[in-house]
Amino acid sequence: MPLQELSLFFPCHNEAENLEALVADALTALPALAMTYEVILVDDGSRDDTAAVAERLVRQHGDTVRLVRHDVNRGYGGALRSGFAAARYRHLAYTDGDRQFRVADLARLVERAEETQSPVVIGFRLQRADPPLRLVYATIYRAANRLWFGLRVRDVDCAAKLFQRSVLRGINVHSDGAFFSAELLIRLQRAGVNIAEVGVPHYPRTAGSPTGARLSVIARAVRDFWSLRLRLWLNRSQALARGRALLND
């Protein structure tokens, strides 16, 4: 059964080659996912034609497609933060602008939410289509989050996530980097929110260039990881209050 309302947003950095197909996929799939929906493109300081392509798509599709622009790159978490803040509807979902996930596959998350009555459903990648080094990083990262935070999910950074708006109220997140997704799940888990999981297909990137394996991105994630872990040991309540709210309401 479709959701009543869904805000779907995409963090995008130098994804000009992917945007038209991405939005076309979204507008084809969304009528089966929700009765009322919107698409939000978050251009995170791209240096290619991402902004120009996005602006053309907004003009073409009117209020259904919206654009949030960052003048400078804020990082993956910063792009997600802007997507959460811009979303207007009762359910929120995101996936990446690189088209390694298909919007139609979000139906698996919607079905899982209905089956389990869980307010948060996250995907885990089936046959992950990434280079070997990325797979090594991911394995270490998943183990570290499980060991140091007790975060028992199969794929922390899978960019297929669905949330009920109500459970995000009062949740603060500090990181604006690659640790954002893990920090959000850690905070939701500590707030007692049930998190369900479901497998989703993962596709090879066919255009654009990945940035997640850059040393600067990894170093920032490690810094934010240990900052949260140390603060939770020192003063749990202060650590959980630190950061900025995800929603504007």
Q: Is 93 helix (H, G, I), strand (E, B) or coil?
A: strand
pLDDT digits (tens, 9 = 90+) for 65-80: 999 999 999 999 999 9
Q: Which residue has the higher pLDDT, 45 or 207?
A: 45
**Residue 208 binned pLDDT confidence (cut-offs 50, 70, 90):** low
User: Is the CB of residue 187 less than 8 Å from the CB of residue 173?
Assistant: yes
Helices 50-61/16-33 angle, 10° precision: 30
pLDDT digits (tens, 9 = 90+) for 134-146: 888 899 999 999 9
pLDDT digits (tens, 9 = 90+) for 77-129: 999 999 999 999 999 999 999 999 999 999 999 999 999 999 999 999 998 88
For domain 3-245, the CATH architecture is Alpha-Beta Complex (3.90)
pLDDT digits (tens, 9 = 90+) for 212-228: 567 888 899 999 999 99
